[in-house]
Amino acid sequence: MIKVLILGGTTEAGELAQALAKTDVPALYSYAGRVKTPKPQPIPVRTGGFGGAEGLGEFLRAEGFTHLVDATHPFAEQMSRNAVLASDQSGVPLLALTRSPWQPVEGDRWQEVANVEAAVQALAGPRQRVMLAIGRQHLEAFASQPQHHYLLRLVDEPTGALPLPNCTVTVDRGPFTTKGDLALLKRHGIERVVSKNAGGEGAAAKLLAARELGLPVLMIKRPTLATRPEVHSVDQVLRWLGHEVALGV
Ligand code: 3Y8
Ligand code: NAP
């Protein structure tokens, strides 16, 4: 009997959990524990790190998982690297469920940068009103460009002091809407948006809103992840599972 571990935290991971909840395939949804109240899932959930690749490999073996689906975010670099290592070590097959990167279209004013550090450097220059829509984990890097007024969008109320002297916080979790992000950008007089190239629908609203307002976007390219089999749809994951089930693996 197969048993699936989903490394979650994205819209697609939630869609896979919904699909598996309709089958008799035992599955467990894993959150890192990054936010206070993660979204409930229709299958059992576990929260917290595994203790590196070794910990994950051990967890897969000890709990008798037969399949590992990495449905984490394209920027969850370390988790995806650990999933490849743990799969190799444990022999449990791995499949990544991910989404294609966004591509700029007519009317987009993107400046693509390699990573967060390059985005910080690109912000050198006179004071602007900048929306940082990249979450909480990399905010301190922007302290070296304190001249700007930053609009920060965070999932949870910040606990400690923020590393930016001149900022406004909006606490909200996606998926976001174009209407909502248009209103947000206008309300705060935003002149520039900083975004990760997450792909998918959940975070695209700010790009559509920026396009409509003709605002420049600093687009942070995805990290190059370890090589692994990748699919872009829940159906392809179900086929991967069904196929192996059909073979009675
Ligand atoms: C904890 C679990 C679902 C999943 C929803 C997606 C869409 C909405 C858009 C912006 C961009 C950002 C951020 C974002 C989005 C979805 C998805 C996505 C971006 C939750 C969630 C967890 C996290 C972790 C959180 C990070 C942060 C990143 C905010 C749940 C809500 C900026 C990424 O405070 C922190 O420490 C937050 C950390 C990692 C990036 C960062 O570096 O700060 N996501 N986000 C997961 C865990 O514990 O394992 O409650 O659902 C999930 C979602 N966030 O099922 O509907 O699929 O991408 N998440 C980015 O894309 O740039 C916000 O503001 O415009
Ligand atoms: P990361 O930097 O790649 O991972 C750091 C460590 O966090 C991992 O080594 C692992 O700890 C733990 N971890 C990460 N994801 C986990 C999961 N789903 N289940 C159990 N442990 C997990 O990860 P991240 O970028 O902080 O992302 C954390 C979570 O937020 C993931 O679920 C991801 O899908 C979600 N998310 C991230 C982003 C983003 O921009 N990075 C955006 C949206 C959603 P151990 O080494 O101890 O096992």
Cα 135 to middle of ligand 2, angstroms:
13
pLDDT at position 243: 62
| Per-residue pLDDT band at 18 (split at 50, 70, 90) | very high
| Interval 187-213: pLDDT, tens | 999 999 999 999 999 999 999 999 999
Q: What percent of the chain has pLDDT over 90?
A: 96
- Residues 6 or more apart in contact with residue 134 via CB below 8 angstroms: 116, 194, 195, 196, 220
With CA atoms as reference, report the closest residue to 75 among 119, 40, 39: 119
State residue 205 phi and psi, 5-degree precision.
-55, -40
Residue 21's CB: how many other CB atoms inside 10 A?
13
State the ligand closest to the CA atom of 159. 1
DSSP state of 123: T
Alpha carbon nearest to ligand 2 atom 37, residue: 73
Distance 223 CA to ligand 1 centre (A): 16
Banded model confidence at residue 249, pLDDT cuts 50, 70, 90: very low
In terms of Cβ atoms closer than 10 Å to its own Cβ (0-12, 13-18, 19+), residue 77 is middle
3-state secondary structure 186-214: HHCCCCEEEEECCCCCCCCHHHHHHHHHC
- In angstroms, the CA 134 to CA 181 distance is 14
pLDDT at 14 over 80: yes
Span 54-100, pLDDT tens digits? 999 999 999 999 999 999 999 999 999 999 999 999 999 999 999 99
Q: Is the CB of 7 under 6 A from ligand 2?
A: yes
Going from the Cα of 111 to the center of ligand 2, the distance in angstroms, rounded, reads 27
**CB-based contacts of 105, cutoff 8 Å, min separation 6:** 211
Residue 244 has pLDDT above 90, yes or no: no
> In the predicted model, is pLDDT for residue 248 greater than 50?
no
In the β-sheet with 109-113, what is the strand arrangement from edge to edge? 109-113, 216-220, 192-196, 129-133, 149-154, 167-171
Question: CB atoms < 10 A from the CB of 145, how many?
Answer: 19
Is pLDDT of 246 > 90? no
Coil, strand or helix at 217: strand
Centroid of ligand 2 to alpha carbon of 79 (angstroms): 6
* pLDDT band of 245, cuts 50, 70, 90: low
List, as own/partner pairs, every contact residues 170-175 make where C-beta atoms lie below 8 angstroms and the sequence separation is at least 24, other chains included. Answer: 173/35, 174/202, 174/203, 174/205, 175/11, 175/201, 175/202, 175/203, 175/205
Q: Which tens digit of pLDDT belongs to each residue from 49-61?
A: 999 999 999 999 9
Read off the pLDDT of each residue in 149-159 and give the average, rounded to a whole number: 97
Give the residues across from 168 on adjacent strands: 151
Q: Given the structure tokens 């689906």, which residue do they identify? A: 69
pTM: 0.96
> Which ligand 2 atom minimizes the distance to the CA of 78?
3
> How confident is the model over 162-175, as a mean pLDDT?
96
Ligand 2 atom nearest to CA at 8 = 18
